[in-house]
Structure 1
Amino acid sequence: MSKIAFTGGGTVGHVSVNLSLIPTALAKGHEAFYIGSQKGIEREMIESQLPEIKYHVISSGKLRRYLSFDNFKDIFKVLKGIIDARRVLKKEKPDLLFSKGGFVSVPVVIAARSLKIPTIIHESDLTPGLANKIALKFAKKIYTTFEDTLNYLPKDKADFVGATVREDLKSGNKSRGYQLTQFSSDKKVLLVMGGSLGSKKLNDTIRGNLDALLKTYQIIHLTGKGLLDEKYINRPGYIQFEFVKDDLTDLLAITDTVVSRSGSNAIYEFLTLRIPMLLIPLGLEQSRGDQIDNAKNFASKDFGRYILEDELSENQLAEQLADIEHNRSDIIDKMKTYKESYTKEDLFDKIVTDAEA
């Protein structure tokens, strides 16, 4: 059996696939450990959800696409990160490295190459991120969630594997969902989620249009941390949560339509559950534009609709939701044409096989 190093961090999306694959590796008799940053979200997620996994901390800088003096300073952080990662890898002696991306992964991938440890990397978004573009030079293979991503990558290194969604996704309990919300089963449910940090503009737009929306929907609003509004606590048909973890599958089980950011993991979950979606991608001032690309790709396949955040208004929201309701059956029919590519077991076996090739 093999020992496998996992890395990736900076966002939930850069950790979630690892969270799925690590238990699979353990169940198949392999050993696993994680390399990440001191304060990144990856440490919080791994240590809280997989406490049995050894977590190694390395130094990491931030990769920026703009000119900044911090870029110069972070060169030294990355160099230290390579040294840190080499020390960990030499001690643990893994047979392969699986990298999910994010800036913390770059020094790990470089260190693995220097020690002749084969590396497989994974790209969730439609267009490759800067970290994975750099890491690809040192890796054997890159896997993609979107088939169209292959157009941006060298053919001899890239494989389309599709999305790997959580096993519990389809096991949501509708009765539990209605119990949590005190909603009725005879009226549609709209789920609104603006990401882990929430979106003030999306929250304000939903609340500003609440009277009109409640004529059609009961609304579950995941506001983001610290963004609950007490004025609406007792509003019939409208319930707020800062965030939901264990109960999310039950809430998804009663959801008819979702308004969401367009991170690839989330939108593939909605696609798998065949929930029509209105996507509000992060804007260019907050990201490199990957969520915009994801949203446009899904809209082009008629899996849903999207509104750019700087164009979001109460009227646009109402119009796009009305369009989704008018075309609901067609959207769901299009969603049914999507076939899941690899199970997590299949993907894990492919990682091991490709690393050994």
Structure 2
Amino acid sequence: MKILITGGGTGGHIYPALAFVNHVKKLDPTAEFMYVGTKKGLESKIVPSYEIPFKTIEIQGFRRSLSPQNFKTVYLFLSSIGKAKKIIKEFQPDVVIGTGGYVSGSVVYAAKQLKIPTIIHEQNSIPGITNKFLSKFATRVAICFPDVAAYFPKEKVVLTGNPRAQEVVSVEKSNVLQAYGLDPNKKTVVIFGGSRGALKINQAFVEALPSFEEKEYQVLYASGERYYPELQKSLKLTEKKQMTISIQPYIDKMAEVLASVDLMVGRAGATSIAEFTALGLPAILIPSPYVTNDHQTKNAQSLVKSGAVEMISDQELTGTTLVAEIDRILLDDNRHQQMAAASKKEGIADASDRLFKIVEEIIG
């Protein structure tokens, strides 16, 4: 079996693809893979470390305003289709899977022209421009949120979930919190705003710090690299408080941490949602207002309906609202248990298996 994967630009497009590749390798050690991305995208830094053959094409997105750059975009799209066809012909895949980003537009479209079965994977509750375009040509459309099915041809849609969920679902609770100076046996909330951090979340945490120092639960906060030096200088924790509040620039063992804490607070990105719902972890989501089509708010709202999460808008977020919402969940065992059960129900723990089943069906 030969599978060509394409997707890039953000980790939300890349990590589900890599999780699926890792899963298929376990199911079929003879399977061969090729990943197509761009030189400038995050994928060029991440994919090679996974020892997957990696090829690149040049592509860029359309500007939303009238711009001469859009003429270049059209030129690059047309020329990239030719480059993608060359890569596909050399690799001769049985199926091509696109996980989003502009690069997948060229590659999946080229595969369609070469009459190769294709699958696109949409992680969010609102589809990106590329996947909306490709859905007309793809053999199947794999989705993670039931609501997004309305944007695609009904006969092509299959609910699979996010492969990242199946990768983390087997992670068990451990003593990982000790690595951050915390007690593994104490109630803990982890707060983070993504790999680079988020200014509004950082400001709310600083405001909430005096209140956190009085709580029975622990707080693990990942500020992001850009905010960490300032926090180190401005925040002085007593030796006693250092045992219940841990401030880190980045959490490199996030799956283990999520499996070992009682509550998550963070953005409403597709990958984070896949991870915490797979583990049955309650969450407080603060959707980023800076994403296309405000899709993080839509992601969060679908989970609010089920009772798995609470949502605080970026505009409403303060230290006071943050602490109050955390208290409502962590200090009420019944509420916490109900949210955990709802979160687990929303998770799709066999996402990679579902996606692989589609692969087997369309290639015979």
Q: TM-score, normalised by structure 1?
A: 0.91
How far off is 1:81 after superposition?
1.6
Aligned residue identity for 1:240: I
**Counterpart in the other structure of 1:44:** 45
Inter-partner Cα distance in structure 2 for 1:243 and 1:135? 35
Alpha-carbon distance change, 339 to 317 in structure 1, aligned in 2, over 3 angstroms: closer
Alpha-carbon distance change, 152 to 225 in structure 1, aligned in 2, over 3 angstroms: same
How far off is 1:252 after superposition?
2.0
Inter-partner Cα distance in structure 2 for 1:43 and 1:233? 39
Q: Aligned runs of 1:185-224 on 2, under 5 Å?
A: 185=184, 187-216=186-215, 217-224=217-224
**Counterpart in the other structure of 1:241:** 248
Matched, 1:335 2:343: yes
Inter-partner Cα distance in structure 1 for 2:346 and 2:200? 32
**Contact persistence 2:192–2:265 (CA under 8 A):** yes
**Contact persistence 1:113–1:119 (CA under 8 A):** yes
**1:304-338 per-position Cα deviation (integer Å, ceiling 9, x unaligned):** 11111122122222232233334222212323434
Inter-partner Cα distance in structure 2 for 1:151 and 1:65? 24
**Contact persistence 1:274–1:336 (CA under 8 A):** yes
Identity across the alignment (%): 29
**Counterpart in the other structure of 2:314:** 309
User: How many residues end up aligned between the 2 structures?
Assistant: 350
**Counterpart in the other structure of 1:84:** 83
Matched, 1:352 2:360: yes
Aligned residue among 295, 298, 304 for 2:303 = 298
Inter-partner Cα distance in structure 1 for 2:353 and 2:6? 19
How far off is 1:253 after superposition?
3.1
- Aligned residue for 2:315, secondary structure, equals helix
Inter-partner Cα distance in structure 2 for 1:21 and 1:336? 21
**Contact persistence 1:233–1:240 (CA under 8 A):** no
Comparing 61-70 and 137-146, the one that deviates more: 61-70
Inter-partner Cα distance in structure 1 for 2:115 and 2:84? 13
- Aligned residue for 2:55, secondary structure, equals strand
**1:45-95 per-position Cα deviation (integer Å, ceiling 9, x unaligned):** 1112x12x1100101111444444432321122222212111111221212
**Counterpart in the other structure of 1:22:** 21
Comparing 295-304 and 326-335, the one that deviates more: 326-335
**Contact persistence 2:168–2:275 (CA under 8 A):** no
Alpha-carbon distance change, 300 to 63 in structure 1, aligned in 2, over 3 angstroms: farther
**Contact persistence 2:168–2:278 (CA under 8 A):** no
- Aligned residue for 2:116, secondary structure, equals coil
**Contact persistence 1:144–1:158 (CA under 8 A):** yes
Aligned residue identity for 2:321: Q
Q: Which has the higher contact order (CA 8 A, sep 6+)?
A: 2
**Counterpart in the other structure of 1:104:** 103
Inter-partner Cα distance in structure 1 for 2:316 and 2:256? 32
Aligned residue identity for 1:162: G
Comparing 345-354 and 93-102, the one that deviates more: 345-354
Inter-partner Cα distance in structure 1 for 2:4 and 2:118? 9
**1:222-246 per-position Cα deviation (integer Å, ceiling 9, x unaligned):** 112222121337552222222223x
Q: Aligned runs of 1:121-270 on 2, under 5 Å?
A: 121-164=120-163, 165-175=165-175, 177-185=176-184, 187-216=186-215, 217-228=217-228, 229-231=231-233, 232=235, 234=237, 236=242, 237-245=244-252, 247-270=253-276
Inter-partner Cα distance in structure 2 for 1:102 and 1:344? 20
Q: Aligned runs of 1:47-62 on 2, under 5 Å?
A: 47-48=48-49, 50-51=50-51, 53-62=52-61
Alpha-carbon distance change, 116 to 185 in structure 1, aligned in 2, over 3 angstroms: closer
**Contact persistence 1:63–1:103 (CA under 8 A):** no
**Contact persistence 2:287–2:296 (CA under 8 A):** yes
How far off is 1:115 after superposition?
1.2
**Counterpart in the other structure of 2:72:** 73
Q: Which runs of 5+ in 1 are unaligned?
A: none
